[in-house]
Amino acid sequence: MHVQIKRLPLKKMFNTRDLGGLPTEDGRVIKHGKLLRSGKLYKIPTKTVEALKNYGVKTVIDLRIYTEQEEDPDTLWEGVNYVHLPVLCTATPGITRERTMKHTMVVESKRIKKEFGNADNYMAEMYCSVLLNEEPQQLLKQALRLIIENDGCILWHCSGGKDRAGIVAMLVESLLGVSEEVIIADYVASHRFQRARFFWNRAGLVIAPCSLRLKKILFGMMAAKPQYLTVAMNRVKERYGSIVGYCKEVLGVTDDDIDLMKNKYLENAAP
């Protein structure tokens, strides 16, 4: 199924999109103006803030860890409900709020080279870790509860809008009945939307004083390859039967919650 996925044209927000329009397997679509996924809201200009306010964003869920939050704080506005749910996206022991993200990436890339061999293996395992470890599960549970109970437009984000935001989007889309094919298409769109950013990041790495193997690992960590998400989804399905089954058993979602979400966030497709 070909689905056209577009980013919202917001200045300084290169990977923000509305899930509205994504089709479900029962023939409906997600409503526009209800569910937004994004990268960070750091130093966004006044026009972008006004656009988000006009869009109706009432709740912002920040999935970044404390270091990211402190180095690049969100730009917020009066009346918005800001919720910080720091989903740890790395298994490096001893990460504290005093360490910079640059330092963290160097430490992680060295560990990845030693333990996983390449970035593809690491990223898939990292996604599995977020979904299957107890601490991030508690935060995912809170994020879903906010989305289930929210009455306005809700925006969730991480740093780039690819990994943690992508995992939450996958869970929400699965609960709403979006097919896996469309879920993956939404996930990999992050790479297209951040193409310019990836280009300049890669250009910087080319001249960085580190080994070629290390550079390849860092390149891979920037990507949004479908296998990163599909490996994790398959691992979850092996254990819980389905993504919806996982949400029910692990994240406390009920059938009534799913009905509420569908009534709130779905509508009939245009003829």
Task: Write the pLDDT tens digit of every residue in 206-216.
Answer: 445 555 555 55
Dihedral over alpha carbons 151, 7, 82, 88 (to 10 degrees): 120
Phi then psi dihedrals of residue 44, to 5 deg:
-75, 145
Asked if residues 182 and 22 have their Cβ atoms less than 8 Å apart, the reply is: yes
CA 127, distance to chain mean position in Å, is 11
Alpha carbons within 13 angstroms on the beta-carbon side of residue 20 total 17
The pLDDT of residue 92 is above 50: no
Q: Which residue has the higher pLDDT, 61 or 107?
A: 61
Rounded Cα gap, residues 104 and 90, in angstroms: 9
Asked if residues 144 and 253 have their Cβ atoms less than 8 Å apart, the reply is: yes
- Give mean pLDDT, residues 107-122: 74
Which runs of consecutive H residues, i.e. helices, occur in 116-225?
119-132, 134-149, 164-176, 180-193, 195-206, 212-222
Q: Given this model, what pLDDT does residue 41 score?
A: 97
Contacts of 45 (CB under 8 A, 6+ apart): 11, 12
The pLDDT of residue 95 is above 70: no
Say which range, 51-65, 118-132, 142-156, 235-249, has the weakest mean pLDDT: 118-132
The pair of structure tokens assigned to 239 is 């254990």
Share of the chain above pLDDT 70, in %: 80
Q: Domains, the chain, ranges and CATH?
A: 17-265 (3.90.190.10)
Distances (CA, A) of 150 to 155, 210, 230: 11, 46, 28
Among the listed residues 182, 191, 139, the one whose alpha carbon sits nearest the alpha carbon of residue 162: 191
Asked if residues 21 and 30 have their Cβ atoms less than 8 Å apart, the reply is: yes
Asked if residues 26 and 258 have their Cβ atoms less than 8 Å apart, the reply is: no
